[in-house]
Amino acid sequence: MKPTRLRATLTGVALVPVLVWTLFPIYWITAASFKTELALYARPPQWLFTPILDNYARVLTNIPFFQYLKNSLVIAIGTTLGSLVLGTLAGYGFARFHFRASEAVRFLVLVTRMAPRMVLVVPYYLMMQRLGLLDTYTGLLVAYVSFALPFSIWLLIGFFVEVPLDVEEAAMIDGCSRLGVLIRIVIPIAAPGLVVAAIFAFLVSWNEFLFALILSGVEAKTLPVVIAGLNTDAGPLYGEMSAAAVMVMLPNIVMTLALQRYLVKGLTLGAVKG
């Protein structure tokens, strides 16, 4: 029993600084969003304070926050739907049909994710300018689907190959088409995979900054661009900036906690079997 207890103590001692390092920034900005201006600049820093909602009220009235929220949401939901439809089809294709070089093509799909976004955004800007799609939902949406898609495909392949083949074959003997099998049999069985792919795609779009910074001006401006814009060293905005930042990261935190079971599988993309 002794060594186990010792090990437990040591683990605890090692974990405390790690947890502080990880969580303190999140805690600190959340606390700041509920502080009065006086408390924000207090020296020494205030750990106990009476929380107020003024910062939230101000950020919601001083800037068109709901307009930006709508932009972010519409684009993120569109990205989710787009990458789910294309990802389901392609994922099923890779899972069930093997052709020459299918392994290589599958890997090529992943490689497209690696291209530096800066390389893409400059020509993309020029093309969107020519098409008159700058500062529109469509311009960002198309780009984001292409960011989310490789991930969705890889994730879904992993879920689709686990669907038992004989169930599918039985349905096809009963006269179901391939697409029918996918929609009526495979998708319901692999539903958890689709949920994970959906959430990942949503976050890709919700978090994206560079394309939004360059392609959106006023009409299609998304929340990360707004946050970066509020980011000044001029102190008076700290309260509002914190409140906005907390609202923007809230969906991420909720989804991460909801998604925890699938994180390992999703993030390692099957590179690690487990």
Partner 1 sequence: MAAGRAGRWFLLPGLVFLFAIDLVPLAYSCWVSFYNWWLIRPRDIRFVGLANYTRFADDPEFTRAVVVTTLFTVGAVLVEFLAGLALALLFAQPFKFLRPIRVLLLLPLFVVPVVGATMWRVIFHPELGVLNYYLAATGLGPLPWLSDPRLALVSITLVDAWRTIPFMFLVMYAGLEVLPAELFEAAAVDGASAWQSFRHITVPLLTYIMLLAVLIRGMDAFREFDIIFVLTGGGPGTATQTIQILNYRAFGLGHMGEANAIGIVTLIIVAVMCYVLMRAVLRPQAAPS
Query: Quick check: 183 and 70 in contact, CB under 8 A?
Result: no
Q: Which residue's structure tokens are 């099957």?
A: 270
Name which position in 69, 74, 178, 195 contacts partner 1 (CB under 8 A). 178
Positive or negative: CA dihedral 103, 109, 110, 111:
positive
Q: Does 98 bind partner 1 (CB under 8 A)?
A: yes
Q: Does 1 bind partner 1 (CB under 8 A)?
A: no
Which residues have a Cβ under 8 Å from the Cβ of 167 and sit 6 or more positions away? Answer: 185, 189
Residue 150, preceding peptide bond in cis (omega within 30° of 0)? no
Nearer Cβ to partner 1, position 173 or 257? 257
Find the binding residues for partner 1 in span 16-55 (CB under 8 A): 18-19, 21-23, 25-26, 28-29, 32, 40-41, 43-45
Number of chain positions touching partner 1 (CB under 8 A): 94
Find the binding residues for partner 1 in span 111-170 (CB under 8 A): 111-112, 114-127, 142-143, 145-146, 149-150, 153
C-beta of 19: minimal distance to partner 1 in Å?
7
Write the secondary structure of 9-62 as one string of H (helix), E (strand) and C (coil): HHHHHHHHHHHHHHHHHHHHHHHHHCCCHHHHCCCCCCCCCCCCCHHHHHHHHH
Nearer Cβ to partner 1, position 123 or 175? 123
In the chain, the amino acid numbered 205 is: S
C-beta of 242: minimal distance to partner 1 in Å?
7
Name which position in 34, 202, 238, 262 contacts partner 1 (CB under 8 A). 238
